[in-house]
Chains A and B, each alone.
Chain A
């Protein structure tokens, strides 16, 4: 880690060159990765990205530059380029960019893992992966898993953020992520299961997040889909949705449309816009729909205490009992809306500008047990896991295709059904909810946005929910 005074010097240099605001961020991501196919390690390696980003405002224009070269001359050159870029941008601005208010921090924090990555040998880690693979039942009754690819990744993210408004934040967050893909077939049918499991912390997460158990459970889901499931029903009916799909929906149709930069059109040509830009009403769903984004959840993939503009983080309510509530702001969008930043500025790495991002987005749990949700459904479907999803660029029309789903008849879970598709608008989704489970499960993901594209680690979470009369295909 460089001396913070070096970064302060870059900020001062930018101000001397005419910037009205300047920030300098040292950002290092170091990771160890291994890939295993069908129990055999095909390779392992290290990834390191490290550099300094400088972002400035000058006459309302914004300039950003980044470099991997940490020599004094290269860093001063980065400052000069950021200032020159801001000056160029200013000549094209009709509405100058300003930095709005935010609770800026002077702090140092880190996530202390129970089992630091360096305390477990790579050998032991690979043996654990091998055991997980060996524990899978790969073949029975004509059902066969032909390929299991596991990608193990442990990353330590270190940052120092200094800006001309007085922020100084130093942080260290380790994260573990396991991705896997399984390909299964039986007779003339086939299916895939792709999953991502992760959180902030150390190697203890392999056990705490039950990676091996989740893999076994996914084999069962594939078996149900390919061997046991029948044709899905179509048309309008009641649906009990599992936490995995609810969690994803919170990210896609509550979190993304609440990003203020998207609402303002700053990402219009990339990740798209938001229905909230033109939505006339403030009612988006039933009273049961409350959605929160909270970067401060311990152990989460999206964990941080201060954002990449140095603003102190806390929970943000996006939908409140069915009504559109807060947005996710960085200081730029906060200035436009005349509010305080709520610390949503995140940058993927040193080469990325901080933009408005989610952290950990979830639906607030209710009071129902799973049995209570199901018992009041006369004829419907329980969709437990998904395998395909997408959503349009204003976050309105969304589609989830079930990997594992079951009929519900007279309040009881019945036979499994294959590849059922739920395709609804955001309003339909949240308005159809009439009961929310008391459970809350989080899932790991990598959220994509920005140009150049930035993938940042997030969690999304949800309970079981019951939806009335939604359209299935």
Chain B
């Protein structure tokens, strides 16, 4: 359990820590409840935060998180412990369960079919172990960005899942991700990257993209646009945010909670543009969300959620599957099914060609604050930030500040006219699931802004 013991002095392959704790808890639970799962995550994480071109703080964490699922007579309890003392808390479980009634969510734990899948990078492990980041910041050229703000993350995680279904799986992972907002003459550009490996080239390309957008916007005049319907090219940053919400509606949990605009849609039904294929890729070890098993120990699989615009089906755990008379898809969350990594299948158009195809319209490169007015219909709005361009005749002619897309999610993604051939690996504040995604050209989107 003591993190430091996870490393061998000679820098060899670390051993998964948390083993003994998970086993002790599992053993205790065996006598108290019918079913249980114990998930232990040990995290060693280092984050460099940058503002005004300087390091505003370097943060590091050594965390042990223990999540416990229990069921007795179909009553469901859950504990989450980011603390010591979990073994005492476990003893309180019977009294917690005794006052509950059988849960309509209950389903027996599924057979553990998952396989361990690890992907680590020794360079990242060494960075988080030593805390030495100065050379890395130099290598990425952070000090040459000028006025910039963002963060750079290095993390090493060990995950163990053990339980009464016979599941006993563990894996190791590393991640290297970040984002940067670069300022030039009152304009800004922002971009992000994510990987399981320390890939300085990947990060530098993202930083260069942020600089390029800020500088391009700074060269152009400001222009105000009127509210209306526009052809809109969205960057991988914007597309990643919106596709994340689109896939959120494909979680059977969101359907059960009455918050999915895919309510009433059947697998096999076309709901989006045939140009759009969205894939959940848990087995892609190049993206940090990978895992060979879900939170119930079921094998994960790469699978389309929308294939050429056709809805392939909701993401399930064993509970939502039982409620909706389906099969688990290996996407547990204990309550809410979820994707692991997302990928939008790339198209065949380069960004320049997409700009030409856009003709007259808007090119939005970043957004935030996506909020749903109506989950059941998918009516939402989101606000652009950073570089946003007015495009005329296929060329950016002006920069426009902080417009909103206000539309229906299904309508927006039914209007896709082209998907780029330029996938980027994105993960940031507004894109929480690691996502590989290119530019997307929307045939029309509602645009609003204050008068």
User: Nearest chain-A residue to B451 (Cβ)?
Assistant: A471
Residues in B with CB closer than 8 Å to A190 are: 374, 376-377
State which of A88, A192, A266 has its C-beta within 8 Å of the C-beta of B376: A192
List the A side residues contacting B449 at CB < 8 Å.
397, 423
B258 A149 Cβ-Cβ under 8 A = yes
A63 contact from B58, B404, B448, Cβ within 8 A: B58
Residue B132 lies at the interface, judged by CB distance under 8 Å to chain A: yes
Determine whether A139 belongs to the interface, using a CB cutoff of 8 Å to chain B. Answer: no
- Residues of chain B within 8 A (CB-CB) of A209 are none
Q: Are A391 and B369 in contact (CB under 8 A)?
A: yes
Number of interface residues of A (CB under 8 A): 93
Q: Are A149 and B60 in contact (CB under 8 A)?
A: no
> Which of B51, B370, B375 touches A267 (beta carbons < 8 Å)?
B51
Q: How far is the CB of B379 from chain A (nearest CB, A)?
A: 8
Q: Which residues of B contact A66 (CB under 8 A)?
A: 59-63
B104 within 8 A of A: yes
B378 to chain A, nearest CB (A): 10
Stretch at the interface among B78-86, B291-299, B350-358: B78-86
A89-B429 contact, Cβ under 8 Å, with A48-B85, A183-B259, A392-B402: no
Within B236-265, the residues touching A (CB, 8 Å) are: 256-259
Residue-wise, chain A 31-63 has the 8 Å CB interface mask toward B (1 for contact) of 000010100111111111111000000000111
Which has the most chain B C-beta neighbours within 10 Å: A64, A396, A419?
Answer: A64
For B304-339 the 0/1 string (1 means CB < 8 A from A) is 000000000000000000000000000000010000
**A143 → chain B closest CB, angstroms:** 14
Check A122 for interface membership: any CB of B closer than 8 A: yes
B108 CB contacts on chain A under 8 angstroms: none
- Tell me the residues in window 321-361 of chain A with beta carbons closer than 8 Å to chain B beta carbons: 349, 351, 353
Is there an interface contact between A78 and B99, defined as CB atoms closer than 8 Å? no
Q: Are B82 and A48 in contact (CB under 8 A)?
A: yes
Q: In the complex the two chains form, is B85's CB within 8 Å of A50's CB?
A: yes
| Cβ-defined contact, B63 with A351, below 8 A | yes
Q: Are A45 and B376 closer than 8 Å at their CB atoms?
A: no
Question: Which A residues lie at the B interface, using CB under 8 A?
Answer: 28, 35, 37, 40-51, 61-71, 73-74, 77-78, 81-82, 84-86, 88-89, 91-95, 97, 121-123, 126, 146-147, 149, 181-183, 185, 190-192, 264-270, 272, 278, 349, 351, 353, 387-394, 396-399, 401, 419, 421, 423-425, 428, 451-453, 471, 473
Chain B residues packing against A (C-beta within 8 Å): 1-4, 46-65, 76-86, 89, 92, 96, 99-101, 103-105, 131-134, 137, 142-143, 149-151, 179-181, 183, 186, 188, 190, 227, 256-259, 335, 368-377, 379-383, 385, 402, 404, 406, 429, 448-451
| Given A41-B103, A42-B335, A269-B181, 16 extra CB contacts under 8 A | A37-B257, A45-B79, A48-B81, A62-B57, A63-B57, A63-B59, A65-B60, A67-B61, A69-B1, A85-B57, A190-B376, A192-B376, A390-B369, A392-B385, A393-B385, A399-B406
